[in-house]
């Protein structure tokens, strides 16, 4: 089973037994909120991508891709050799290099704000970097009513029950019904998590790498 945008909206209305104009208007918001929960809770290898960019000498910042969700790795190339920057938090970077004017080969990075990574030490030269990250795919609501996405095809019930949880919060629906939808959503999220971990571990074993622990 899979959902198109039209069939998912119809299913939400049927479960909620609600055809009020304001409710129907908010259906895309319920779906997007459900998608966001899924994308932020589970790392799926299908939603990884690589981008190549550059660190600029004396500039401690690097632009975050607009579809960025979480890092997998950040690789830096120096004189033909490659190494990986370690991800820390901003406070660690500021303690490590209190003066941003201090330059050296970068070792660490952190999410500074919505649009920038912070790099430490501040680059002492221009470097090529490759960011391997989990991205936020386009929402089902961004396409036509007949459209589908990977989530609506491969995790339709996680998407449905996540949307129903949002819908029932909006409606201030019955507590027992909401609790059941939350339980169902958690169940299908566990199944999706198992799928993601199985694929990740299989890929790691195939290339001789250790499976990455989840946090």
The whole-number average pLDDT for the span 141-145 is 96
Q: How big, in percent rounded to 5, are the helix, strand and coil portions of the chain? A: 45, 25, 30
Judge whether residue 3 has pLDDT over 90. Answer: yes
Gyration radius of the chain's alpha carbons: 21
Whether 105 and 78 have beta carbons less than 8 Å apart is answered as: yes
pLDDT at 207: 37
What's the pLDDT tens digit per position in 59-118?
999 999 999 999 999 999 988 789 999 999 999 999 998 888 889 999 999 999 999 999
pLDDT at 208: 36
Q: Name the average pLDDT for the chain.
A: 90
Whether 136 and 39 have beta carbons less than 8 Å apart is answered as: yes
pLDDT at 197: 65
- List the alpha helices (DSSP H) in the chain: 5-16, 21-25, 27-41, 90-96, 150-154, 156-171, 175-206
Judge whether residue 11 has pLDDT over 50. Answer: yes
Q: What is the pTM of this model?
A: 0.77
Looking at per-residue pLDDT, the higher value among 44 and 13 belongs to: 13
What's the pLDDT tens digit per position in 189-212?
999 988 766 555 444 443 333 333
The whole-number average pLDDT for the span 33-49 is 91
* 165 CB burial (10 A radius; 0-12, 13-18, 19+): buried
The whole-number average pLDDT for the span 42-53 is 91
Whether 131 and 70 have beta carbons less than 8 Å apart is answered as: no
The whole-number average pLDDT for the span 131-147 is 95
Q: Which two tokens stand for residue 134?
A: 């989990």
pLDDT at 198: 55
Please provide the distance, in angstroms rounded to a whole number, between the alpha carbons at the two ends of the chain: 31
pLDDT at 204: 45
What's the pLDDT tens digit per position in 172-192?
999 999 999 999 999 999 999
Domain ranges in the chain are 5-44+140-206, 45-135
Judge whether residue 158 has pLDDT over 90. Answer: yes
**CA-based nearest residue to 71, from 55, 54, 87:** 87
């Amino acid at each position: 089973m899979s959902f198109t945008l039209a069939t998912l909206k119809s299913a939400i209305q049927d479960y909620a037994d609600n055809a009020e104009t304001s409710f129907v208007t908010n259906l895309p918001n319920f779906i997007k909120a459900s998608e966001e929960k899924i994308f932020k809770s589970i790392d799926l290898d299908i939603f990884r991508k690589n981008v190549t960019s550059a660190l600029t000498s004396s500039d401690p910042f690097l632009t975050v891709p607009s579809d960025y969700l979480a890092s997998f790795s950040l690789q830096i190339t120096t004189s033909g050799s490659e190494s990986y920057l370690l991800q820390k938090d901003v406070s660690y970077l500021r303690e490590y290099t209190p003066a941003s004017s201090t330059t050296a080969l970068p070792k660490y990075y952190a999410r500074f704000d919505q649009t920038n990574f912070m790099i430490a030490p501040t680059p002492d030269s221009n470097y090529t970097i490759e960011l391997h990250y989990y991205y936020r795919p386009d929402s089902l609501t961004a396409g036509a009513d007949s459209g589908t996405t990977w989530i609506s095809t491969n995790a339709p019930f996680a998407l449905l029950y996540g949307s129903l949880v949002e819908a029932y919060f909006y409606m201030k629906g019955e507590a027992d019904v909401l609790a059941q939808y939350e339980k169902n959503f958690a169940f299908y999220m566990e199944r999706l998590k198992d799928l993601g971990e199985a694929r990740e571990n299989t890929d790691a074993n195939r290339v001789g790498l250790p499976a990455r622990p989840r946090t």
